[in-house]
Structures are given as C-alpha cells and as structure tokens.
Amino acid sequence: RRGSIMAGIVVLYCVTSFVGGYSAVRLYRQMSGKLWVRCILLQALLFPLPVLGIFMWVNSVALAHGSTSALPFTAILTVFALFGFIAVPLTVFGGILAKNYANPEFNAPTRTTKVSREIPTDIPWYRSRNFQLLIAGFLPFSAIYIELHYIFASMWGHQIYTLFGILLLAFILLVIVTSFITVALLYFQLAREDHRWWWASYTNGGMTGLFIYVYSFYYYYHRSGMSGLLQGSFYFGYMSIVSLAFFLMLGSAAFQFSLVFTKYIYSRVKCD
C-alpha cells in the first residue's frame, strides 16, 4: 500500500519519543546539567524542525507543479496531530520521569583535576581531526555500499527490494562497525593526550550520514536519470532527512559505546 511504510515510520517515531526524552535528560543530569527543560525542548525539536522545513519546501514545489505526490491538507494535519499530541507529550513525560527517578550520579571511575591539561598541537597528519573524520565516515560506509545501491534503486528507481533480512543484518553491521571504529579513534585521541572526546566521538559516529548524502549526489547525476526542480527537490530533500537521521542515530550509538569504553579503561588505571 502506497505510503504505508512512511506512515509506520512516523507512528513509530512518535511512540518511541518517550525513550528519547528519558535518555536525554538522564545523561544531561549525569553531566551536571541544570537546564533540563531546555534539554527536553531540544530533544523534541532537534530532528522534527529540519524535517518540517524540508517537507514544507518539497510539498510546496509539488503543489506548484500539480503533482499527485503532494500530501493533502488532511494528511498534513494528521502528522501534526501525531507530533503535537503524542510525540511531544511522551518526550516531556520521559524527561520528567528521568529528572525525578533516574540516577543523577555520573559515577566517574577516577578523580579529575580542576585545570585541564594542555593538549599537544604538534601531531602528524594521520592523527589530525580531519583525517579522523574521513576514516570514521568512509570505513562504515564501505561496509554498506553494495546494499545501499540496491536500496537507492528501490527507493528512486523501478526495482523492488525484497531482502529485508539482509537489510537488517546490514543495519546491525553498520552500527557495530561505526561504534568499533569510533572507539578505536577515541583510543588514539586519548593516547595523544587529547581529552576532548565527547563531541569528537559523536561526530565521528555520525560522519557515515554525511557520506550517504554525498553518495546521493553521485547516484542522482550518474545512476538515477532524474532531472528538473520537482524531482531534484524530492530527491535531495528526502535524502537530507535520511542522512540527518543516520547522523543523529549513529552519532548517539557511537557516543554511548565511547562512554562505556572510556569508563572501562579509566577504571583500570592505577593511581598512586
């Protein structure tokens, strides 16, 4: 049925918003955050706001061209109602639950000093931040490149994709490879005495989403046969949403693995 997968994704996102609100506020308070209300609002709007902006542009272009792909007003109203009456309340409820009942202690395995150590700046090029970002995005992307080609052909071509079991395995492999590579890069970063690993781990994990978006340009101009404002708006608009979703999802997974890894290695440090 046309649109059933998209409707299922929207409903699943709304229903699982509780998990996002709970985990975001719990981690925020463990890192001594005080503005937990702002954390809830950021969690609730960080992904939907860009999606809303892109959707409004794509739908406006479709209406201007008289395309049947444009969503009717009732469907748009339904999506807004799902977000406003299910996703946002569940996010707020999860955040309040974490604020009142989740353990606010970070439980750091070692003591930290008040003054940060000086970070060395004289490092070889293969340990630089830009090279790390390249490796962090390229290696996981290479693990899913073949499967990604068939998915693109199914989404934007006329092929039918039926290997959903293989797709699930590829997704699990992507999360595992991304997390392991991020942890390896984190180890090299800590080894060169750079303690600023939080956002580095997140962006390292999310770089695969950027590689997917870059690949979408190659597919559009060399494989799809699409052209024009309408097709380009639909293609690049929806691919930017998919890439953003992968960036946020893989970045979160990589950060959680990196946090566990960091706590583990520092718990084994022997201090005199």
What tens digit of pLDDT does each residue of 170-189 get?
889 899 999 999 999 999 88
Quote the percentage of the chain above a pLDDT of 70: 97
- What is the Cα–Cα distance from 60 to 69, expressed in whole angstroms? 11
d(CA 259, CA 31): 12
Q: If we measure between CA atoms, which residue out of 226, 220, 228, 225 comes closest to residue 65?
A: 228
pLDDT less than 70: residues of the chain: 1-4, 161, 270-272
What are the backbone angles phi and psi of residue 205, rounded to the nearest 5°? -65, -35
The predicted model scores a pTM of: 0.88
Q: What is the pLDDT of residue 176?
A: 92
The whole-angstrom separation of Cα 130 and Cα 108 is: 29
CB 136 within 8 A of CB 177: no
The pLDDT tens digits of the residues spanning 68-121 come to 777 888 888 888 898 889 999 999 999 999 888 888 888 777 777 777 778 878
Distance of CA 189 to CAs 133, 247, 250, 253, Å?
A: 12, 21, 19, 18
Q: What's residue 164's pLDDT?
A: 76
* pLDDT at 22 (0 to 100): 92
> What distances in angstroms separate CA 153 from CA 148, 212, 268, one per listed residue?
9, 14, 49
Do 196 and 253 contact (CB within 8 A), yes or no? no
How many CB atoms neighbour CB 50 within 10 A?
Answer: 14
With the CA atoms of 69, 75, 76 and 78 taken in that order, what torsion angle do they form, in degrees rounded to the nearest 10? -160
User: How far apart (Å, rounded) are the C-alpha atoms in residues 73 and 95?
Assistant: 32
Q: How far apart are CA 167 and CA 102, in angstroms?
A: 35
